[in-house]
Amino acid sequence: MSTGTTTLDVVVSDVVPVNELVTRFHFRRRDGGLLPTFSGGAHVVVEMRDGDRTRLNPYSLMGSPLDTREYTISVRRDDAGRGGSLFMHRQVKPGLEMVISYPVNLFSLDLRAKKHLMLAGGIGITPFMAQTSQLAGAGGNFELHYTCRTASLGTYADVLQQRYGSRVKLYHDDRGERIDLDRLLSSQPLGTHLYVCGPAGMINWVRDRAASLGWPLETVHFEHFAAPQPGAPFDVTLAVSGKTIHVGEQQSLLEAMEAAGVDPPYLCRGGVCGQCETNVISSDGKFIHNDHWLSEEDHRSGCKIMPCVSRFEGKSLVLER
Amino acid sequence: MAAKTIISRPIYGTLSPQPGKHHLFIADAEGALAITDMAGKAPPGFFDGAEIVFIPGPEAKHIAALEALKPAQLHIAPSFASLLPRLKQTLTNAHMGLRLYLAGTEGLIGQAMQAALEAGIDHTSIETEHRGSLARRMQCVHCKGITENVTTQPALCSHCGLLLLVRDHYSRRLAAFQGVCINAEDRSEIPPMEEIFR
Ligand code: FES
């Protein structure tokens, strides 16, 4: 693995189907010891050895940070994706030995907040599972608003309501229930911090409304891991390592670099942390920037690329690495 | 603008209108001019949702200029101490979306910010602009007494009488600069006192 990430040898201790799309996985340390401490919002990168292919996907830890005997993640099956979630659903069984990274937190609670207002969409609920456990353990003030398509896809909604009662509010798309966002945001006491995790559209909507209603930037936290998108294959020359590599349709640029023995830094593999940023030396073609890290100006300039999620279409591309 | 010397020494900016529905301004003396200057950049209707709390000071200037902005509320206070209970009340009842603007002396900015921090506002989200006197609010690190309006270096602690070197080391929690005894080794050594925080 890479910069800032050390690996843990784990064994899958349980696999629990949660609903038609989501399965939960439990990991324990192979040597039986305790796992490293983490804080609510942290994720681990799970290595999936699928034949001669290795996939590395980030998943939020959803167990209580107060219990480090095991880590739990929940994986939503994505039939149109590149196969990571399908691998987890189909191949991963109790007893399988796997390698995961140490936890990294790019979505931590700001504990100076007087109140924590959480907004989750769909599988975006997972980091909040850990955050609410952490806050409940410490007597923290929080409120969770959770939107899901249908009641049966309201993953862990029942658990959360049972644990926290009216502090959890549910909204079901199929019943036409919608968050009255402006009212919700305008009625929060001073000192509230906002956390949002869910689909990109939801995150953008919430950030946008919060900003125009006067929420300072520092009080709005969000997490969205863009899964690497498949796309047309392309070739890249890596100037420093002197290699020319091929990025397959289902492969990310980062994965192709790793397969060629180059070891670029990364933390999130989802276009949010900034670790994998790479300079473009020359290019003739079009960038497909899928990251949330670079500024719009960076995107336009074509001088930088985030290899974990971004792609390229065109004649030639030379990167620094 | 005060020069940045050490990390804790606050630096101030220029007030600029923030998005949001409620705007709370706290200013003293020349700080009023920072508000009227900013008004030129504010969108129409901005002051409809604004409350200005102003401490005019002995010269009692600038009140008319603030009235002319037609804020939703204009409150004139004789001193910071007298407006503090009201400020605390406002902050306790306020909602996210309230933006805070502080303009004037360092003592005013620091103390208002102290109340804001207690209410849960992050200091980075507060608009500040320094105007007027550079007089400092100083805490004596020996007796912990606070002396207001310190303009000299060194300065006399108004509580214990020690001669203090006024440091740039600033405490946001106390809203004060630290004053440390300048002649602890030999009290008979009296360095000249100069007026430097005017
Ligand atoms: S690894 Fe985090 S942005 Fe690429």
Ligand 1 binding pocket mutation candidate from A253, A273, A311 (most atoms within 8 A of CB): A273
Angle at B91 between CA B88 and CA B94, to 5 degrees: 150
- The β-bridge relationship of strands A192-197 and A115-121 is parallel
Question: How many CB atoms are closer than 10 A to CB B191?
Answer: 11
Judge if the beta carbon of residue A226 lies within 6 A of ligand 1.
no
- The β-bridge relationship of strands A220-223 and A192-197 is parallel
* Crossing angle (nearest 10°) for helices B106-118 and B80-93: 30
Cβ contact, residue pair B122, A213, below 8 Å:
no
Q: What does the pLDDT read at residue B3?
A: 52
Share of chain B above pLDDT 90, in %: 83
CA of A42 to the centre of ligand 1 (A): 15
Are A24 and A79 in contact by the 8 Å Cβ rule? The answer is no
Q: A108 CA to chain B: closest CA distance, Å?
A: 17
**Cα→Cα distances B144→A219, B98, B157, B179, Å:** 33, 33, 10, 9
Coil, strand, or helix at residue A144? strand
Token pair listed for B92: 């306790």
Q: What does the pLDDT read at residue B5?
A: 62
- What value does the mean pLDDT of chain B take? 93
Q: Whose CA is nearest to atom 3 of ligand 1?
A: A271
Q: What does the pLDDT read at residue A210?
A: 97
Residues of chain A with pLDDT under 50: 1
Is residue B4's pLDDT more than 70?
A: no
Q: What does the pLDDT read at residue B1?
A: 45
**A137-169 pLDDT tens trace:** 999 999 999 999 999 999 999 999 999 999 999
Give dist(CA A319, CA A87) in Å, integer: 31
Chain B contact set for A116 (CB, 8 A): none
Residues 6 or more apart whose CB falls under 8 angstroms from that of A296 comprise: none
Q: What is the dihedral of CA A267, A268, A270, A272, to 10 degrees?
A: -90
Q: What does the pLDDT read at residue B133?
A: 85
Please name every residue paired with A54 in a beta bridge, in sequence order, or none if there are none: A49
pLDDT band for position B2 (cuts 50, 70, 90): low
Judge if the beta carbon of residue A272 lies within 6 A of ligand 1.
yes
> Cα(first)–Cα(last) distance of chain A, in Å?
16
**B102-123 pLDDT tens trace:** 999 998 999 999 999 999 998 8
Cβ contact, residue pair B125, A216, below 8 Å:
yes
Q: What is the dihedral of CA A291, A294, A297, A301, to 10 degrees?
A: -80
- What value does the mean pLDDT of chain A take? 94
**Cα→Cα distances A284→A287, A306, B55, B141, B195, Å:** 9, 17, 62, 64, 64
- Among the atoms of ligand 1, which is closest to the Cα of residue A269? 1
Are B81 and B50 in contact by the 8 Å Cβ rule? The answer is no
Judge if the beta carbon of residue A225 lies within 6 A of ligand 1.
no
